[in-house]
Amino acid sequence: MKRRQGRDVRIAVIGAGPGGLATGVLLAKAGFEDFVLLEKHPGVGGTWYRNRYPGLTCDIAAPLYQFSFELNPEWSGPYPPQPELLDYFERCAEKYGLLPHCRFGVAVRSASWNEAEARWSLTLDTEETVEADVVVSAVGMFGDLRFPDIEGLDSFRGTRFHSAAWDRDHDLRGETVGVIGSAASAIQFVPEIVKEARQVHLFQRTANWVLPKADDPYTEEQHERFRNDPKAVQAARDEVWNTLDPGGAGAFTRISAQMEAVCRAHMEVVEDPEVRAKLVPDHPWGCKRPLLSNHYYPAFNRPNLELVTEAIECITPTSIVTADGRERPVDTLVLATGYETAKFASVVDFVGRGGARLADAWSDGAHAYKGVMTAGFPNLFMLYGPNTNGDSLITTIEFEAEYAVRQVQRLVDENLAWIDVKPDAEAAYNEELQQEIAKVEPWHAGCSDYYRSPGGRIVTQWPGRMSELRRQLETPDPDAYDAGRVEAMRREPAAR
């Protein structure tokens, strides 16, 4: 067990999704045993525990959408469904001994930094407090749900739920369903629910480019090769890495026209020319999140799926009324309106040095040094933080978790009470980052998307390659931080 002059290093990890699990595995590997994973849901898996809507799959090929230390030879295909992904993370938690470190069904409401003690105090929704020297926020960016601001939404008397909180006990067979939103979740669940519902009305505010994906199930021969030859599993991972990484976000500008051509060819399957025309976006590919589905466009050939592009005027207790005055009665309303993606760790009320709140520090948009630390919040490390969203979430999370664990190791090795990124280092990093973001032309084509803070600054996206982010995170950078030693804290508790 790692100690600082006889004092255990206590680490609180917020979240037991992929980020929390990766952190736990790496902490244990480094010899840290005194850590807890605080998870608001009843089990591990994060977004793959929470989201269970029909048709849910990952949109990065599974060989790369998995931990590098736990390659799985049993994926059913390149883009496995949610149950397989959840099972994978559950098996990881059990295999690596993380379950005894987990506290399920507790949400962290707030966390305050105690300068005199160089320690975080976390308040749970149970009113309990948890003390920790170090906090790792693994809440990700898909936390708070986003609900549309539509007149009368709360007056609806039928069944209503968000796609990220799918009501699995509700039977859609024979019902008329209204779906508001046509992006990442809708393109997956709409083709499934039209198989059961009597009628589905899909309300589209903005069309999205949807690419096809190579998703043939793995054959038994492939599975045998994966099971018997670990090099084959690694080779499959390397193939996806070598396909995605060389381009990075910079490729969005170069291949936008080519991707649009692929999407247009893909949507030719839609038989009705008027419907097909409504599905063509008015923005360049890459302006919004790239989407993949082999089933979305064919679903519009079913007679019980209507694409509605007129703006929603209001919602009544029994129907949806559009701006053209038409009223469509619905039994169930599904809100496929996504998340408040720009909040990141600020979904928890973090209070740092001098009473500064993270939400206030990010009032003009979230920012962090290398996406992991924000000045004024010592010993707080964020995974999947601001401007780290790239190709494979799982891959970049590992890089960030490794970085966080190295900083915890530094606390021990150098007998430090705290480390905090210097404001100047953080500002310089983010100035250069935004310059690189400005070069990705499709991101600045006027789309309304989850990339941006309310002020308009892109806060989610990483503008380079995954390998570049890894290189930045692996490069030692002690001069970017202020630090306080344990001895100094004892002599002068409030010193910085």
| pLDDT tens by residue, 260-297 | 999 999 999 999 999 999 999 999 999 998 899 999 99
H/E stretch holding 174 reads none
Residue with more model confidence, 291 or 448 = 291
Does one domain contain both 137 and 259? no
CA–CA distance, 209 with 282 (Å, rounded to integer): 10
Angle CA 481–495–486, to nearest 5 = 75
Q: In percent, how much of the chain has pLDDT > 70?
A: 97
Quickly tell me which residue has 């310089």 as its tokens.
428
Please tell me whether residues 380 and 299 are part of one structural domain.
no
The verdict on 264 and 382 lying in the same domain is no
pLDDT digits (tens, 9 = 90+) for 6-61: 457 999 999 999 999 999 999 999 999 999 999 999 999 999 999 999 999 999 99
pLDDT of residue 341: 77
Please check whether residues 127 and 159 belong to one and the same domain.
no
Kindly state whether residues 466 and 485 are assigned to the same domain: yes
Whether residues 263 and 407 share a domain: the answer is no
Distance CA 279, CA 424 (A): 46
Residues written for the chain: 496
Is 86 among the domain residues? no
Q: Judge whether 317 lies within some domain.
A: yes
For residue 235, is it within any domain?
A: no
Residues 432, 331 share a domain: no
Which CATH number fits the domain that encloses residue 124?
Answer: 3.50.50.60
Separation of alpha carbons 413 and 415, rounded Å: 6
In a domain, 68, yes or no: no
Establish if 38 belongs to a structural domain.
yes
Q: How many helices, marked H, and strands, marked E, lie in the chain?
A: 14, 23
311, 410: one domain: no
Asked if residue 479 is part of any domain, the answer here is yes
- The predicted structure's pLDDT at residue 495: 34
Q: Is 126 found in the same domain as 14?
A: yes
Q: What confidence tens digit (pLDDT) does each residue in 345-375 have?
A: 999 999 999 999 999 999 999 999 999 999 9
* Mean pLDDT computed over 187-195: 98
Judgement on whether residues 457 and 479 belong to the same structural domain of the protein = yes
Query: What is the token pair recorded at 408?
Result: 């915890």
Domain count, the chain: 2
Residue 231 lies in a domain: no
CB atoms within 10 A of CB 373: 25
* Rounded Cα gap, residues 486 and 463, in angstroms: 38
Domain end position, chosen among 272, 303, 335: 335
Query: CA triplet 15, 37, 27: central angle to 5 degrees?
Result: 110
My answer on whether 163 and 310 are in the same domain is yes
Q: What is the pLDDT of residues 144-164, one digit of tens each?
A: 888 999 999 999 999 999 999
Domain check: are 388 and 475 in the same one?
yes
Which helix (H) or strand (E) segment holds residue 468: the answer is helix 466-474
Q: Which domain holds residue 306?
A: 153-208+247-335
Check whether 490 has a pLDDT greater than 70.
Answer: no
For the four alpha carbons of 236, 237, 243 and 246, in that order, the dihedral sign comes to: negative
